[in-house]
């Protein structure tokens, strides 16, 4: 049965607004209500169509009145901040993420009309460490539990949502663990990192990166809102790239530096608002994270249109390269050619220096 009244939190951000706008085009949905603490931009407001915007704070118990008065049957929770700067600091960020989610769930628990709850979660709940498996499935847990930041908030939020599901077994709950978003419209920690002309990384590390295109993220959210799937699902594009490959393909300058020096770079970048090199982000940039998407394809019923490489290529169209990709390719091919020649030369020298086998007669005497 399709939803009748949908409430979407965080509609002033691109993805939340895009979801509300897409749902508003569905004639089978009677009402779409968008909630946020700040009004959408003029461009987003035009795109929202018949979406009813309500300026409200999910940290305030008054959100319960919005849900009850409109007889909301489906709630999509998108108002979770991943950047302290965007939320006004780490304290307000945690309050918005954790306290806001608790208030929203309390309102949903009291509202008898609510029948479905969709959470935009993140694969960051798996953490990032040297002990991680090659691929995380939905049944796995973090080998090193995140100790702070957005990842820690997301772990807590998922725990509150599971508790809500036990208290309201009549409500269908879907938790979507997204990998890093990328695309022309997405503004995130990772895209900010990739936009830096000179990209410092930790010497000796080269993380595996799995990306999800913004169009696939939107399609998954729409399907989760209007479909019947319940449970937890990893959402990511097919394939992976090394962090160094991503940097080169975007035409940036890759500068590996020792980890202690990178800490100083991180403090400098946070101070001037460039990139948030938090400890959590540093672990991801060192070790990376890859998730299994079998449940997404076979149970949820969606196969992303963009692979990781294709999603990065689409994002690259919007980024002016510091070094043209053809120059990077030419230099890389030249270096590989030098390596091959050095390798062939070393093999030839080794062959010449290899001692000759003893004559048959000497071998016989030695064996005797």
Burial of 24 (0-12, 13-18, 19+ CB in 10 A): buried
pLDDT tens-digit series, residues 262-299: 766 656 555 555 566 677 888 898 999 999 999 999 99
Domain range annotation of the chain: 5-183+210-237+290-317
- 178-230 pLDDT, tens digit each: 999 999 998 888 888 898 888 888 889 999 999 999 999 999 999 999 999 99
pLDDT at 254 over 90: no
Exposure string of 85-101, with b = 16+ CB inside 10 Å and e = fewer, is: ebbeeeeebbbbbbebb
Overall average pLDDT of the 336-361 stretch:
61
What's the pLDDT score for residue 362? 46
Check residues 356 and 166 and name the one with the higher pLDDT.
166
Task: List pLDDT tens digits, range 8-52.
Answer: 999 999 999 999 999 999 999 999 999 999 999 999 999 999 999
Beta bridge partners of 202: 257
Predicted confidence at residue 365, as pLDDT, reads 44
Q: DSSP class of residue 126?
A: G
Look at residue 368 and tell me whether its pLDDT is greater than 70. Answer: no
Work out the number of other CB atoms within 10 angstroms of the CB of residue 365.
10
Which fold does the domain 5-183+210-237+290-317 belong to in CATH?
Rossmann fold (3.40.50)
Q: What is the Cα–Cα distance from 62 to 64, expressed in whole angstroms? A: 5
Sign of CA dihedral 134, 139, 140, 145: positive
């Amino acid at each position: 049965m399709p939803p009748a009244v949908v409430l979407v939190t965080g509609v002033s951000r691109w993805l939340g607004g895009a979801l509300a706008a897409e749902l508003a085009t569905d004639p089978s949905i009677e009402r779409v209500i968008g909630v946020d603490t700040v009004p959408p931009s003029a461009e987003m407001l035009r795109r929202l169509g018949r979406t009813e915007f309500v300026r409200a704070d999910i940290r305030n118990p008054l959100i319960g009145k919005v849900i009850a008065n409109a007889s909301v049957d489906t709630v999509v929770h998108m108002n979770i901040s991943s950047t302290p700067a965007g939320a006004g600091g780490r304290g307000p960020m945690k309050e918005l993420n954790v306290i806001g989610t608790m208030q929203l769930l309390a309102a949903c628990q009291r509202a008898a009309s609510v029948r479905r709850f969709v959470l935009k979660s993140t694969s960051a709940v798996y953490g990032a460490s040297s002990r991680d498996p090659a691929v995380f499935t939905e049944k796995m847990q973090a080998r090193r539990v995140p100790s702070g930041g957005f990842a820690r908030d997301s772990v807590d939020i998922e725990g509150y949502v599971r508790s809500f599901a036990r208290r309201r077994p009549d409500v269908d709950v879907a938790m979507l663990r997204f990998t890093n978003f990328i695309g022309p419209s997405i503004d995130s920690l990772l895209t900010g990192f990739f936009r830096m002309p000179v990209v410092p990384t930790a010497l000796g590390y080269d993380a595996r990166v799995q990306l999800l295109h913004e169009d696939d993220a939107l399609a998954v959210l729409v399907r989760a809102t209007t479909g019947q799937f319940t449970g937890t699902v990893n959402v990511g594009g097919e394939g992976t790239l090394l962090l160094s490959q991503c940097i080169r393909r975007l035409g940036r300058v890759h500068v590996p530096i020792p980890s202690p020096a990178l800490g100083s770079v991180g403090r400098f970048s946070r101070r001037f608002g460039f990139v948030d090199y938090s400890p959590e982000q540093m672990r991801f940039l060192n070790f990376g994270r890859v998730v299994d998407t079998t449940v997404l394809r076979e149970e949820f019923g969606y196969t992303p249109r963009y692979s990781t490489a294709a999603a990065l290529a689409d994002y690259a169209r919007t980024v002016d390269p510091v070094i043209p990709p053809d120059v990077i390719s030419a230099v890389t091919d030249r270096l590989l050619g030098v390596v091959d020649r050095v390798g062939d030369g070393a093999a030839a020298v080794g062959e010449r220096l290899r001692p000759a086998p003893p004559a048959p007669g000497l071998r016989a005497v030695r064996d005797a």
